Structure formats: C-alpha cells, structure tokens
Amino acid sequence: MTSSEGAFARALVTGAGGFIGHHLISYLTYRGYRVRGVDLKEPEFEPTRADEFVVGDLRDAKVADEVTRDIDEVYHLAADMGGIGYITSNHASIVRNDTLINVNTIHAAHENGASRLLYSSSACVYPQYKQLEADVTPLREEDAWPADPEEGYGLEKLYMEKICQYYREDLGLDTRVVRFHNVYGPLGTYEGGKEKAPAALCRKIAGIEDGGEIEVWGDGKQTRSFLYIEDCVEGIHRLMRSDHVDPLNLGSDRLVTVDDLIEIISGAAGKRVEKRYDTSKPQGVRGRNSDNTRLRAALGWEPSISLEDGLARTYEWIAGELAVREAPAAVG
C-alpha cells in the first residue's frame, strides 16, 4: 500500500525516543499519518504521540522485521550518536551499533514491502580536508567524494548512504537520504555527554549568575551552522514526499562561531557571561557550513526560523527544566 496522503499512510519512525524522532512523530500524526515508533526507550521529556510505540533494539534483526511489517514509509533516524566528545571517543561501539541498526532496518523494510525509506545521514560525512578553516566554503552534496569523513560516526553514515543507493538501484526500495547540519531545539538532551553545543551552552549559561563564567571547548572561533528542530522535521517530510533520490543537505547556511552562539544565548538569558577556553577538549573540524543550493532547487523550500528565535526557545526550555529540577521540594 502506498499513498501520498498522510491520512492513508502507515509510517515507522526509528529512533522515536530521541530528539528528532519525537518531534517528527508529532509532525506526522498531526498530518494524519498512523505512526509506529521504535527505540530502546520512550521519550524522556514528554509522552510520545505515536499510535504505537515499541521498546526494542534494532540491532536485533527480529525486532527490525517485526516493526517494519505493514508499513508504507520508514523514517530511519535510529543511531548511536551524541556530541563531539562522545563521537570522538567511541568509534568502535558507534560503528558496530549503527551498522547493525542500519542493515537490519533497510533489509527488513525491503523484505516487508515498504514503499519508501528515508535515511538520516550527517554533515560528518564531508571530507575533513575541506573543513580546515573557520571561514569555510559551504559544503555541496557532491563534496562528500573523494571521501575523508569524520572517523567512526561519519564513515558509517557515508557507507549507509551507499547501501541506500544499492537497495534502490538493485532491489527497488525507493530511498531518500538527508544530511543533517547540527539540529537543535527544545526536548533534546542537554547534559550527560551526548548533548550538542547549543544545548550544552544553554545549560551552562542557565546555571550561572549574571557575570558568571562558563567553560568553552576550543577557542570559540570554530564555526558551524545550526538548524532548528521545526525546520528539520518539515524538511524531512518534504524530502520524503519529493522525487529527489540523491543525498541532500538539510541545514541553515548561516555560519556562526561558538562565541557567536554564546553571545546570542546570553542575550536571550539577559546575562553577562565570562568565557574560559579549553583547547584540550574535542572540537571537531574547524569550520562547517551547508550549501543549500540543491535544497532550494529540489524542495522549493529552505529553513526559515532564525538562530536568535530558535536559541531563545531552546534556552527558555532548558532553563525551565533546570529550575524545576533544582526547586526545593514542597513541605506539608
């Protein structure tokens, strides 16, 4: 069964307990999809809106087979991943876990007759030799080859992109590949080692008084572009509905430094912030930005939520979470 209308489509979202997966389920159910989610755990911060949620491990081929039955579209977001500190210190486990998850899921989707699968890749697939300067040239999709991806996480993402191509060309499974560029927003991990830079900085700034000091990994001059979660899930859905089969960037093309991030977040917080730089900590590539030329051509659309607006919403949510957690327990 296939359909271009959400009201008649049965969708599977893998990684449904995670940040992007949870938001995507809300987006799809609002549009009439019947959604099944699967993950090792349910969402941390609010209940899922999935019609069915399976707590299961996609490293087990039997689980992948079970959850892909009677499904039209697979939104494959499940991955072992985290912030730069996590992905640079766990190469072996990340590659093993994600390879099992990916191969099991795409093969089960094909065997069970899914009409289409979207795979969530990453800007980490891009060659490190093209990201040596802070004032980096925006990365085009074709720049991924010749390959020199981020070790571990980036390499397995690039390999899975090719597996999607082979399943499409050899076996007829219609695939889409999206390359995320630093997605952030409310309801995401903000502590524990797997958080990304925007969430980590929001947490640090929320935890100090006006004029306090935070630790900054690196010298503050490294650059990235950042994509707000609402734009992310809309872009995912637009790509799934499109005829574009090659990998596609999904990100903002506004390049900012880590120092810029801190300035924007501190402005949202209404605080003056002192910075203590630690260049011994993992920093990733020196600069990375998204070229959105093909995104605009393929989808007739591009992200629209400003970094200032998105970071203000994210800071407000994280500060609120910390305030609730640290509030004294009621007496009586």
Note the helical H segments in 172-257. Answer: 197-206, 229-241
The answer to whether the pTM exceeds 0.85 is yes
Specify whether 184 is catalytic.
no
Contacts with 327 (C-beta within 8 Å, 6 or more apart), sequence order: none
Q: Which domains does the chain have, with CATH numbers?
A: 6-184+228-250 (3.40.50.720), 197-224+254-291+305-326 (3.90.25.10)
CA atoms of 253 and 245, how far apart (whole Å): 22
Please report the pLDDT score of residue 83 as a whole number: 87
Please report the pLDDT score of residue 325 as a whole number: 85
CA atoms of 290 and 300, how far apart (whole Å): 16
Looking at this protein, which amino acid is placed at residue 327?
A
User: Which residue in the list 153, 167, 228, 315 is annotated as catalytic?
Assistant: 153
Please report the pLDDT score of residue 147 as a whole number: 98
Please report the pLDDT score of residue 1 as a whole number: 35
Copy the structure tokens of residue 258.
């880590």
pLDDT in tens, the chain (332 residues): 334 445 559 999 999 999 999 999 999 999 999 999 999 999 999 999 999 999 999 999 999 999 999 999 999 999 999 889 999 999 999 999 999 999 999 999 999 999 999 999 999 999 999 999 999 999 999 999 999 999 999 999 999 999 999 999 999 999 999 999 999 999 999 999 889 999 999 999 999 999 999 999 999 999 999 999 999 999 999 999 999 999 999 999 999 999 999 999 999 999 999 999 999 999 999 999 999 999 999 999 999 999 999 999 999 999 999 999 887 765 55
End-to-end CA distance of the chain: 58
**CA nearest 224: which of 177, 183, 266, 275?**
183
